[in-house]
Amino acid sequence: MSTQTGTDIKDIFADEVVTHARVRDVALPYGAGTLALITLDNGFDHTKPNTFGPNGLTELNEAIDAVAARDDIVAVGVTGKPFIFAVGADLKGVPLVQKREDALAIGKLGHDVFRRLGELDVPSFAYVNGAAMGGGVEIALHCSYRTISSGVPALALPETFLGLVPGWGGTYLLPNLIGAEKALKVVIDNPLAQNRMLKGKQAYDLGIADAIFEPADFLEESLAWTARVLTGALEVRRPEVDKGKAWDDAVALARWNIEGKLHGAAPSYVRALDLVAAAKDRTRDEGFAAEDEALADLIMSDELRAGLYAFDLTQKRAKRPAGAPDKSLARKVTKVGVVGAGLMAGQLALLFARRLEVPVVLTDLDQERLDKGVAYTHGEIDKLLAKGRVSADKANRLKGLISGSLTKDAFADADFVIEAVFEEMSVKQKVFAELEEYVSPECVLATNTSSLSVSEMGAHLKHPERVVGFHFFNPVAVLPLLEIVRGERTDDAALATAFAVGKQLKKSCVLVKDAPAFVVNRILLRLMAEIIQTVDEGTPIEVAERAAAPLGLPMPPFVLMGLVGPAIALHVNETLHGAFPDRFPLSEKFAKFVAAGKKGVYLPDFTIDSDAQAIFGGGTSPSTEEQVLERALDALAGEIKLMLDEGVVQAAQDIDLCMILGAGWPFHLGGITPYLDRSGVAEKVNGTRFLEPGVASTPR
């Protein structure tokens, strides 16, 4: 298994956990004969997935050798250990690949092994019993037939999300099985939608599987189905794939979508789309060879290193928050209070009730507001019921957990109270002072402030040690980041409780020092402040907006400002200006824009509001897109260095994690600090990189 240069790929994956391919004979019903069943199993408990590196592929190849040599079997089947079919390639060694020929060999090896399942003298059957991703899906695609369990929680081809392509047959076999439109949903659209997964039924409906069975007797039913296929009692019919205009239209739509969202910043999506586009006219050999070349190029790319770095952050660092106190210090939370009954408070109440399944009490100043807030949560629960996401019994239980009270004595037995009131320090201090008259000394008081000082908020309390920042991002149910802010006097018990609650809420928690605007808002406002300043100076709004396109953010700065609300953005900017006036200037034009009651610079048809043009007009020193971007990146590099020097977070990785999970920073860029490293901006501004050389980029 060596390349022409003599490098053994196995050396790159020296610590690979081998996925074993065990073979046993199964006597099929209805007198259909004997099937050789290959079970993929890495020997760990069910929570550890089956993956493939060179050693695992070699073992699968040997298993196929064994069954291919037999003349006493009528078919070959492939399935996984309980709950997991296979989740694809073992990518641990990929960052160590330094030669393109080694990268090319990785692609060829996967093809050489997997394609044999479709080239046996007998039919092959994939029994997708559990999670299947990447190469796991491609193993199934190489087989003659596929069944799937209705209990499969996740099936996906997520390679483009990480910076690769489905390169072991996916971009050729899938569109030729289900058509380009459906295939592009799996290869392009779902990865673009924050790596959305398919459930078993959804995969079946797309035509990826030929039959679907319940989990309890999935393998038995699959084997019986196999027997009927082999004996001719059942004919498998698949819709004919349209390789004409429908194929081309699907590709054109996907190309427009990619360009609109990524602006050319993520080559893996375009490369995968090109492979799918060409798959309608290529032979299988040509299609697989093209995948090999694409893999070789992308494995050597910065985008893949960045994607793997980002994936590692969200899968590992997010689950073990740096600097968090010992979880044994956390207090049990049996009741939650929410101060306020507005939209944010309602979202919080619903989340706490769903995840913690404890009583949640809302409070507000008058009955009308309170009733409206409780009604909102009940209405959202009804929506979940209508979508089948909760049962009728569960919906009734959740509604019963959420109640309202006009008096704060309802919080007397609460263990955790969070305020979601107006973003004004005096208002929040008053709320906490009132709460302290009713709650126990051990009750954690949390604030959802987006920029105000947690320490100042609790400064006049009898027990300031139990005040903690608990900053969610909107929409609360969707965005996974939770900035947990430690005030100057916050103790370990309160902090540990906050982290425990955050974990129960299924959020990714990052410990943040009590600094103005914390992490995400400070960085986004620094970016926005620079861009607004260039507009003040005479740069047209549309030019300044386009300048940020290479960053690949979910939306341009002025669109984001419209979503957040200009008044809120101005308020956070004022907070930051108070702390750092030299770096966060106050724009008189922006203040005038907010005072005019404008909700954004764009009209509903996405043309620029003439009033916005007039308010921001008059500058005499316009910049080009390139100049705006350079200025913005220089500002970000300097600001992040200051944040790290101040100890706002434990390390640069936490900055990246916050931006990925809270601001939608693209996976293919790996986070903001590796982007600034790769572009050379970090060294230009700070004289040093944020990360070690080779981290999230190709070794030079």
Q: Kindly report, residue by residue over 615-659, the tens digit of the pLDDT.
A: 988 888 999 999 999 999 999 999 999 999 999 999 999 999 999
Domain 520-647 class in CATH: mainly alpha
Burial class of 542 by CB neighbour count within 10 A (0 to 12, 13 to 18, 19+): middle
- Average pLDDT in the 200-227 region? 97
Range among 192-196, 315-319, 403-407, 666-670 with highest mean pLDDT value? 403-407
CA 207 to chain centre: 26
Lowest average pLDDT, out of 455-459, 530-534, 540-544, 605-609, goes to 605-609
**123 pLDDT tier (thresholds 50, 70, 90):** very high
Task: Say which amino acid occupies 563.
Answer: L
Q: Report the distance separating Cα 125 and Cα 142, nearest Å.
A: 9
Contact 177, 204 (CB under 8 A): no
More confident residue, 220 or 692: 220
Lowest average pLDDT, out of 50-54, 282-286, 579-583, goes to 50-54
pLDDT over 80 (residue 80): yes
**What rounded mean pLDDT belongs to the chain?**
90
The conformation of residue 390, written as its DSSP 8-state character, comes to S
- Average pLDDT in the 33-37 region? 96
Q: What confidence tens digit (pLDDT) does each residue in 86-96 have?
A: 887 777 767 77
> What distance, in Å, lies between the first and last C-alpha atoms of the chain?
26
**Structure confidence at residue 466 (pLDDT):** 95
Contact 172, 166 (CB under 8 A): no
- Average pLDDT in the 66-76 region? 95
**484 pLDDT tier (thresholds 50, 70, 90):** very high
Q: Report the distance separating Cα 596 and Cα 611, nearest Å.
A: 9
Give the ranges where 115-244 is alpha helix by DSSP (H).
135-142, 159-162, 170-178, 180-184, 190-192, 200-206, 218-231
Q: Report the distance separating Cα 607 and Cα 626, nearest Å.
A: 23
HSE (CB half, 13 Å, CA atoms) of 267?
A: 12
**Structure confidence at residue 351 (pLDDT):** 96
> Of 141, 144, 138, 137, which Cα lies nearest the Cα of 119?
144
Sign of the CA dihedral running 197, 202, 204, 205: negative
Q: State what percent of residues in the chain have pLDDT above 90.
A: 68
Lowest average pLDDT, out of 162-176, 220-234, 306-320, goes to 306-320
Q: Does domain 9-300 have CATH number 3.90.550.10?
A: no
**Structure confidence at residue 182 (pLDDT):** 97
**Structure confidence at residue 694 (pLDDT):** 63
Give the H/E segment covering residue 112.
helix 100-114
Contact 134, 166 (CB under 8 A): yes
Q: Report the distance separating Cα 358 and Cα 500, nearest Å.
A: 15
pLDDT over 80 (residue 72): yes
- Strand 360-363 relative to strand 402-405: parallel, antiparallel, unpaired? parallel
Contact 389, 356 (CB under 8 A): no
Fold of the 327-513 domain: Rossmann fold (3.40.50)
Instruction: Tell me if domain 9-300 and domain 520-647 are identical in fold.
Output: no
User: Residue length, the chain?
Assistant: 700
**Would you list the domain boundaries of the chain?**
9-300, 327-513, 520-647
**334 pLDDT tier (thresholds 50, 70, 90):** very high
Contact 200, 152 (CB under 8 A): yes
**Structure confidence at residue 346 (pLDDT):** 94
Contact 697, 305 (CB under 8 A): yes
Q: Report the distance separating Cα 71 and Cα 294, nearest Å.
A: 38
pLDDT over 70 (residue 18): no
Give the ranges where 180-266 is alpha helix by DSSP (H).
180-184, 190-192, 200-206, 218-231, 245-262
Q: Is 565 helix (H, G, I), strand (E, B) or coil?
A: coil
Tokens (6 digits) for 373: 């807030």
- Average pLDDT in the 324-348 region? 94
- Structure-token match 């952050």, residue found: 313
**4 pLDDT tier (thresholds 50, 70, 90):** very low
pLDDT over 90 (residue 428): yes
**Structure confidence at residue 14 (pLDDT):** 45
- Structure-token match 């092994």, residue found: 113
pLDDT over 50 (residue 1): no
pLDDT over 50 (residue 2): no
**Structure confidence at residue 5 (pLDDT):** 38
pLDDT over 90 (residue 328): yes
pLDDT over 90 (residue 537): yes
State the Rg of the chain over Cα: 28
> Of 634, 632, 628, 613, which Cα lies nearest the Cα of 544?
628
The answer for residues whose C-beta is within 8 angstroms of residue 79's C-beta and 6 or more apart is 37, 38, 39, 40, 85, 126, 127, 128, 129, 219, 222
Contact 609, 602 (CB under 8 A): yes
Lowest average pLDDT, out of 23-37, 355-369, 539-553, goes to 539-553
**Structure confidence at residue 696 (pLDDT):** 63
Q: What confidence tens digit (pLDDT) does each residue in 464-480 have?
A: 999 999 999 888 888 89
**Structure confidence at residue 632 (pLDDT):** 94
pLDDT over 50 (residue 6): no
Tokens (6 digits) for 533: 């300043």
pLDDT over 90 (residue 368): yes
Question: Over the range 563-574, which residues count as b (16 or more CB within 10 Å of their CB) and which as e?
Answer: ebebebbbbbbe
pLDDT over 80 (residue 51): no
Lowest average pLDDT, out of 9-18, 230-239, 422-431, goes to 9-18
More confident residue, 212 or 7: 212
Lowest average pLDDT, out of 235-244, 248-257, 370-379, 685-694, goes to 685-694
